[in-house]
Structure 1
């Protein structure tokens, strides 16, 4: 089975609600249907940022207006959109809860063949290792002088060291003759686990720090430190996904 993005959820009934309740209902409807692209949308810095494979970017006022134009006033819809964007985010992706399973033959596969993804790993690992070196320099700075809670990166030297060790391990697997059929599932699975664990921590920091930056609370953190963790998160997830499929393929051979 494959996945596709399902339709928007039905709009709620606004009749007999107060102004505040109507705005609250529209905001809730929006977040039922749309989300921060950092949740799931692929990110490729070399391709200009987010790859909107599920549609988007979507604008809060436009989507709320399309859904509620017959049921709410312009002022109420604007207030709802302002509430949605209160954290500073203005581009939205479809909510991943709308994903539905469909037959493989009904959709075009969004991923290239595994052999091509494995071939791309070496360059991705080089980029990842470079990012990890930079992150190792950033992490201590994010924890000193009692920074705001959201600015504490939460990564240890061991996290970064283990991730870099796994970069080397996977490079070793790529150096084998015909790596597609000769990879070590244990090595691949260990690397996948480390990369996903690191991705979770980076994503948590990136989302929290982004809100602080948008609010002007953390002006000392420049755009580069914000962009890099976001790109790093998606790089980690991309590599981990390839390792997962590679390991599964190897286990099917035996």
Structure 2
């Protein structure tokens, strides 16, 4: 799922244009205010803010001008003086406006290519992933030979190694300054060192004339273990980001804020997790195609 913005709409039981013209001036102004604040809100309510990038990040459109929006909806159907008064009252509160939170909705994607995280589940490319102890599983047809499987592992390992390096130098949260509660790293320096050792051991298995299924299983377990640790870190800290309003996303909690925060606030951790899952998955296929050692 992804977030998108619905179009403008009238509030529930909003009067028709004909009925609106029959109201007195005070009621007409109030109706325009009701309509505007149904469709728009101050960016401080739920728009991500990044001081390093110049301020509010208008990911859902805007900033919008109140007069332009009211004239677009009511121009020609109501007296211009009523619009003027509504604009004056709106601009006493602010001059920049964004789509209201009720217009931010979930929409399905035909080709979903991101890690999506909620409170209880993790998906990659639309498929449910499970962490069974230290074993990750994903439903997908695998390679047909040990050589093909080894090549897949080598390719995934290259991506994973880059993700480890990025995560090792990553701050707690994107470009935003994190609050104290989420300034802890997803992996400790010891975790990173052990993971890099596992990477070197896996390179040796790839180059070996007779790879060890048991050795590969142990390395797969190590990678799955750090993947689970980063997954748990994401769940914990996405909760902190939402409840603490980091990046202005608190109000979006009902609109797939988990996936948004994972992909936007924690890109290095997200990329690490995706790469670790893929690598563990490919190692599993390789193990299944190797003959057992007696």
Indicate whether 1:96 and 2:113 are aligned. no
Cα displacement (A) at 1:240? 6.3
Cα displacement (A) at 1:62? 1.1
2:236 corresponds, among 187, 190, 194, to 190
CA shift in 2, pair 1:53/1:180, >3 Å: farther
CA shift in 2, pair 1:91/1:41, >3 Å: same
TM-score by length of 1: 0.55
Q: Distance in 1 between matches of 2:110 and 2:37?
A: 31
Cα displacement (A) at 1:12? 4.0
**Which residue does the alignment assign to 1:175?**
192
Question: How many residues align structurally?
Answer: 189
CA shift in 2, pair 1:100/1:196, >3 Å: closer
CA shift in 2, pair 1:249/1:68, >3 Å: farther
Q: Distance in 1 between matches of 2:42 and 2:163?
A: 26
Bigger mean CA deviation after superposition, 1-10 or 74-83:
1-10
| Cα offsets for 1:25-48 (capped at 9, x unmatched) | 001101111112223323332322
**Which residue does the alignment assign to 1:61?**
67
1:46 corresponds, among 52, 61, 78, to 52
Secondary structure, counterpart of 2:44 in structure 1: helix
Q: Distance in 2 between matches of 1:19 and 1:27?
A: 12
**Which residue does the alignment assign to 2:85?**
79
Secondary structure, counterpart of 2:170 in structure 1: helix
| Cα offsets for 1:75-96 (capped at 9, x unmatched) | 2111111222222x21111122
Secondary structure, counterpart of 1:3 in structure 2: strand
TM-score by length of 2: 0.49
**Which residue does the alignment assign to 2:26?**
20
**Which residue does the alignment assign to 1:7?**
7
2:265 corresponds, among 239, 242, 245, to 239
Q: Distance in 1 between matches of 2:80 and 2:263?
A: 40
Work out whether residues 188 and 247 of structure 1, in 8 Å CA contact, stay in contact via their aligned partners in 2: no
- The gaps in structure 2 that reach 5 residues or longer are 117-123, 126-159, 197-221, 251-259, 282-294
Work out whether residues 128 and 235 of structure 1, in 8 Å CA contact, stay in contact via their aligned partners in 2: no
**Which residue does the alignment assign to 2:170?**
122
Q: Distance in 2 between matches of 1:47 and 1:125?
A: 14
Q: Distance in 2 between matches of 1:46 and 1:170?
A: 23
- The gaps in structure 1 that reach 5 residues or longer are 133-159, 205-233
Work out whether residues 70 and 83 of structure 2, in 8 Å CA contact, stay in contact via their aligned partners in 1: yes
Q: Distance in 2 between matches of 1:47 and 1:91?
A: 18
Q: Distance in 2 between matches of 1:49 and 1:86?
A: 21
| Cα offsets for 1:120-150 (capped at 9, x unmatched) | 7814649656x65xxxxxxxxxxxxxxxxxx
**Which residue does the alignment assign to 1:220?**
none
Secondary structure, counterpart of 1:25 in structure 2: helix
Secondary structure, counterpart of 1:175 in structure 2: helix
Q: Distance in 2 between matches of 1:180 and 1:12?
A: 60
Higher helix proportion (structure 1 or 2)? 1
CA shift in 2, pair 1:98/1:195, >3 Å: closer
Q: Distance in 2 between matches of 1:245 and 1:127?
A: 15
Q: Distance in 1 between matches of 2:223 and 2:244?
A: 25
Cα displacement (A) at 1:97? 1.2
